[in-house]
């Protein structure tokens, strides 16, 4: 008998609930064509090219110095997958679509969506090049982070994300009557996750964002001797993320993910690779580093005379030249909530087609840009049937010049 619960109507309800559980991914863009990602499997890598923007010069005549080669840089993303499974007997006890929504969509669908969002937050939330830190009031950091993003690319539509706890801290410490404005458009887009607008930026709640804590005596002196690009995996490697590895002096204090540092003379760049000489570049730690570690993993750093660069330093020509003393941007003994501000198109979202389950009943549904693949299959030895939902995706920030962070004291 055909499985009624892989029907289109039921699947749309399931996917709608899944989407509601991942507001962080609603503002995103597909950067790859169907042919680009055809045949990709979870763990495999695909490259995104950051384009060069050239080097305009003055005058009419073209000299040898004016002729430059195109210098594109690659950002790689790994295909990831989340799944959920249920005994078919459980599904068969559901008699109509409303009951399906309540018993399956609002449980399995929401939980699967929450896990997808948590996964992407883990690889993307701190992937930004500029950190703005508030000393006593978080609104100032939020406004500064938004202002930086407008300088990085004029005319961008911006989206912001923060935890309910961070929003509560902002509400308590209001500054000059700053607050989130209600917006019907934001409410319609984010539904229950909607916060409102601030400085013409649309904000939504996200959960699973960590608090960044600085010990009372700070992190001690940490010096960098060199940087290196992370090597993309050549075999299936779930969770692989494109990073830059900094070789540092042995840590005397553990450093948590999300901690931002600066190095004298290092500046952020706009979306065309032009230096923003009033904005220090923030090296944001992406993975917790233990005492004794001699490597810090930070966001992807691109250095050199290319429009794809995100960091400018007068003396550095590549990531291998990165050197100096790391200066923590956060205050000692303070805990921080972190908000992310970014453009929608810097977050990539692509669904990946998985091979069908051989001998099973397979179907799929795409709704709101999210695809769910469903398989019903049986275990003859156990005489048991299972239905599983899979969401395979290629997600992550492809241009971290278009993301910034605001640190809000708790």
Give the model confidence (pLDDT) of 280-330 as tens digits: 999 999 999 999 999 999 999 999 888 889 999 999 999 999 999 999 999
Q: Is 388 part of a structural domain of the chain?
A: yes
> Whose CA is closest to 122, among 159, 80, 167?
80
Which two tokens mark 410? 């708790």
For 385-406, what is each residue's pLDDT tens digit?
Answer: 788 888 989 899 999 999 999 9
SS3 of residue 124 by DSSP: helix
> Whose CA is closest to 328, among 381, 401, 255?
255
**Torsion angle, alpha carbons of 8, 11, 17, 21, to 10:** -120
For 60-80, what is each residue's pLDDT tens digit?
Answer: 777 766 666 656 678 888 888
Instruction: Answer with the residue of higher pLDDT: 33 or 257.
Output: 257
**Torsion angle, alpha carbons of 140, 142, 147, 149, to 10:** 160
Boundaries of domain holding 339: 1-54+78-410
Query: Is the pLDDT assigned to residue 377 strictly greater than 50?
Result: yes
pLDDT level of residue 54 (50, 70, 90 thresholds): low
Q: Is 120 part of a structural domain of the chain?
A: yes
Query: Is the pLDDT assigned to residue 7 strictly greater than 60?
Result: no
Helices (H) and strands (E) counted in the chain, each on its own, are 8, 23
Q: Is 70 part of a structural domain of the chain?
A: no
Q: Is 50 part of a structural domain of the chain?
A: yes
Kind and range of the H or E run holding 82: strand 80-87
Q: Is 63 part of a structural domain of the chain?
A: no
With left for phi above 0 and alpha for psi between -120 and 50, is residue 54 left, alpha or beta? Answer: left
Mean pLDDT over 377-390 rounds to 79
List, in order, residues 6 or more apart from 96 with CB less than 8 Å away.
none
Dist. CA 53–CA 275, nearest whole Å: 13
* Percent residues over pLDDT 70 in the chain: 84
Mean pLDDT over 106-115 rounds to 83
Most confident of 90-94, 97-101, 336-340, 371-375: 336-340
- In the chain the first and final C-alpha atoms are separated, in Å, by 56
Mean pLDDT over 48-59 rounds to 68
For 206-263, what is each residue's pLDDT tens digit?
Answer: 988 889 999 999 999 999 999 999 876 655 444 568 899 999 999 999 999 999 999 9
CB atoms within 10 A of CB 368: 12
Q: Is 64 part of a structural domain of the chain?
A: no
**Residue whose token pair is 């002196």:** 221
Mean pLDDT over 30-43 rounds to 72
**pLDDT (0 to 100) of residue 44:** 72
SS3 of residue 410 by DSSP: coil
DSSP string of 342-406, one letter each residue: EESTTEEEEE-PPPPPTTSEEEEEEETTEEEEEEEEEETTTTEEEEEEEEEEEEEES-GGGEEEE
> Whose CA is closest to 50, among 71, 81, 26, 20?
71
Q: Is 198 part of a structural domain of the chain?
A: yes
Angle at 71 between CA 311 and CA 29, to 5 degrees: 75
Split into its structural domains, the chain has a count of 1
Which two tokens mark 203? 């904000």
Q: Is 73 part of a structural domain of the chain?
A: no
Spatial contact of 159 and 204, defined as CB atoms under 8 Å apart: yes
Query: Is the pLDDT assigned to residue 4 strictly greater than 60?
Result: no
pLDDT level of residue 1 (50, 70, 90 thresholds): very low
SS3 of residue 142 by DSSP: helix
Strand partners, 55: none
């Amino acid at each position: 008998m055909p499985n009624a619960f892989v029907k289109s109507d039921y699947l749309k309800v399931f996917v709608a609930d899944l989407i509601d559980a991942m507001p962080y991914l609603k503002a995103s863009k597909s950067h790859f064509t169907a042919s680009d990602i055809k045949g990709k499997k979870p763990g495999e890598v695909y490259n995104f090219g950051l384009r060069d923007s050239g080097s305009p010069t003055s005058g009419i005549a073209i000299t040898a110095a004016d002729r430059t080669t195109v210098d594109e840089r690659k950002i790689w993303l790994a295909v990831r997958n989340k799944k959920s499974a249920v005994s078919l007997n459980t599904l068969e006890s559901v008699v109509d679509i409303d009951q399906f929504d309540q018993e399956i969509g609002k449980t399995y669908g929401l939980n699967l969506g929450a896990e997808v969002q948590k996964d992407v937050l883990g690889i993307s939330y701190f992937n930004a090049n500029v950190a703005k830190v508030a000393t006593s009031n978080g609104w100032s950091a939020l406004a500064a982070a938004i202002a930086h993003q407008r300088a990085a690319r004029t005319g961008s539509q911006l989206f912001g994300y923060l935890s309910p706890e961070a929003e509560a801290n902002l509400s308590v410490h209001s500054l000059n009557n700053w607050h989130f404005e209600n917006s019907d458009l934001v409410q319609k887009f984010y539904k229950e996750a909607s916060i409102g607008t601030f400085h013409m930026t649309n904000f939504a709640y996200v959960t699973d964002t960590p608090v960044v804590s600085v010990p009372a005596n700070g992190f001690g002196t940490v010096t960098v001797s060199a940087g290196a690009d992370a090597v993309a995996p050549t075999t299936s490697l779930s969770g692989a993320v494109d990073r830059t590895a900094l070789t540092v002096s042995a840590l005397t204090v553990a450093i948590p993910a999300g901690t931002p540092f600066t190095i004298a003379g290092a500046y952020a760049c706009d979306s065309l690779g032009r230096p923003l000489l009033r904005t220090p570049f923030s090296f944001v730690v992406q993975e917790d580093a233990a005492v004794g570690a001699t490597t810090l993993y930070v966001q992807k750093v691109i250095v050199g005379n290319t429009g794809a660069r995100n960091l400018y330093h007068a003396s550095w020509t590549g990531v291998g030249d990165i050197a100096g003393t790391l200066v923590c941007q956060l205050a000692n003994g303070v805990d921080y909530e972190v908000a992310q501000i970014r453009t929608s198109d810097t977050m990539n979202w692509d669904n990946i087609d998985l091979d069908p389950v051989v001998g099973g009943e397979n179907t799929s549904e795409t709704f709101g840009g999210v695809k769910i693949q469903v398989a019903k299959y049986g275990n003859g030895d156990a005489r048991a049937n299972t239905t599983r939902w899979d969401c395979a995706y290629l997600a992550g920030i492809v241009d971290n010049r278009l993301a910034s962070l605001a640190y809000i004291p708790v």
